[in-house]
Amino acid sequence: MTRTIVDVSDEQILRALLEVEDISNRAVAARLGCPYRRVEEVRKRAGLPAYVRGRRAAYATLKEAFLAQVEPVQGGHMRWTGPREKTGTPVVRWRSLLDTAYRVAFRLHHQREPVGYLTRSCEIPGCVAGAHQRDLTMREALAAGGAS
């Protein structure tokens, strides 16, 4: 099998690299009929990240993973649509992390780690809204007459 190498401009290569998200140098080279090493050089000169083989994370951030698995409900509540443990507890899986949706929601909303176990401040079963989660510190402050 004879390969025909086509004269392709750097601009054409760059356009092909930017046209499809996360495309390999070999795929661009095959599509344009040029050497993959040339595509690699254009990618480097343009400052584009190197193509990484293998499986990609479904979500770029923990927040993105959480938000993709909830749906807002009237009254500021959040219904979990993602996976659950056998006990029914909603869980967030992101990269190597596995945590309850309640704890992730608390962290995202309050920008800190929860202290102790979490309880809901609302009466909606299973609500995973971060603003509706209370940790030990908040419960103690509420019992002492402070703000929630």
Residues 93-120 have pLDDT tens digits of 988 889 999 999 999 999 999 999 999 9
Helix axes 25-32, 36-46, angle to 10 degrees: 120
Instruction: List the end-to-end C-alpha distance of the chain, in Å, as a whole number.
Output: 73
- Residue with tokens 């219904």, as numbered in its chain: 79
pTM recorded for the entire structure: 0.63
3-state secondary structure of 120: strand
pLDDT tens track for 7-66:
889 999 999 998 887 789 999 999 999 999 999 999 999 988 888 787 666 788 999 999
- Residue with tokens 């770029």, as numbered in its chain: 60
3-state secondary structure of 83: coil
- Residue with tokens 């990609």, as numbered in its chain: 56
Among 26, 27, 33, 30, which residue's Cα sits nearest to residue 8? 33
